[in-house]
């Protein structure tokens, strides 16, 4: 059993692979995990919360902050793993210089998007959504929240496009030769 973990098993996942192929697998795995989590959150979890009316409840801001706090940290880990693996892949692969630069720039942009979600957008949106006036008869979201949602969706679409492009570049067999 321990041979499989230390590389002694011939059928092990990473045994017999070139360093470029190993980094390619790490990049594809981290980007795949990140993309699938983002799609699940954006197109399953949040619409479900919206259709069930939870967004109208008073505790939605704190509940959504908890969800996004956890997801943003996982997102940061995936972004860091993707950037690190792309960086290592650019060092050991035989891809042309322009492809390497595009891959590194994509990785950096993805990390910047994850950082902006984690430390700017999510805390600010949650702060706007918290109901501090419990005696108010009418509850309404500030107009600024719509602008922040628009920024979120632009960043999210950019993230999905960049990650998809990077995933296709990392999946290219020529990269890991």
Tens-digit pLDDT profile for residues 47-58: 998 888 777 777
pLDDT band at 42 (very low <50, low <70, confident <90, very high): very high
Cα gap 156→13, rounded to integer Å: 32
Whether the full predicted model's pTM is greater than 0.75, yes or no, is yes
Q: Which of 45, 2, 33 is nearest to 110 (CA)?
A: 33
Q: What is the distance in angstroms between the CA of the first residue and the CA of the last residue of the chain?
A: 31
State which H helix or E strand residue 122 sits in.
Answer: helix 122-129
Query: C-alpha distances in angstroms, 145 versus 83, 115, 150?
Result: 31, 20, 9
pLDDT digits (tens, 9 = 90+) for 74-127: 999 999 999 999 999 999 888 889 989 999 999 999 999 999 999 999 999 888
The reported pLDDT for the residue numbered 61 is 76
pLDDT band at 171 (very low <50, low <70, confident <90, very high): confident
Q: Which of 87, 111, 109, 112 is nearest to 170 (CA)?
A: 87
Coil, helix or strand at residue 121: helix
* Exposure b/e, 160-174, CB count within 10 A at least 16 = b: eebbeebbebbeeee
Q: What are the structure tokens assigned to 21, written together?
A: 């192929």
Q: What is the mean pLDDT of the chain?
A: 84
């Amino acid at each position: 059993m321990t041979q499989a973990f230390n590389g002694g098993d011939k059928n092990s996942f990473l045994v017999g692979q070139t360093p470029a192929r190993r980094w390619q697998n790490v990049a594809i795995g981290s980007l795949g995990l990140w993309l699938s989590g983002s799609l699940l959150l954006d197109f399953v979890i949040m619409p479900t919360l919206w259709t069930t009316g939870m967004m109208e409840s008073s505790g939605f801001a704190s509940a959504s902050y908890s969800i996004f706090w956890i997801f943003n940290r996982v997102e940061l880990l995936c972004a860091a793993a993707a950037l690190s693996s792309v960086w290592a892949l650019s060092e050991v692969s035989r891809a042309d210089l322009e492809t390497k630069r595009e891959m590194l720039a994509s990785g950096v942009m993805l990390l910047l998007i994850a950082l902006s979600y984690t430390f700017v957008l999510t805390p600010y949106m949650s702060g706007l959504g918290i109901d501090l006036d419990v005696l108010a008869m009418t509850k309404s979201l500030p107009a600024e929240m719509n602008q922040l949602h628009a920024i979120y969706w632009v960043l999210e679409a950019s993230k999905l496009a960049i990650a998809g492009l990077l995933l296709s570049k990392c999946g290219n067999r020529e990269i890991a030769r």
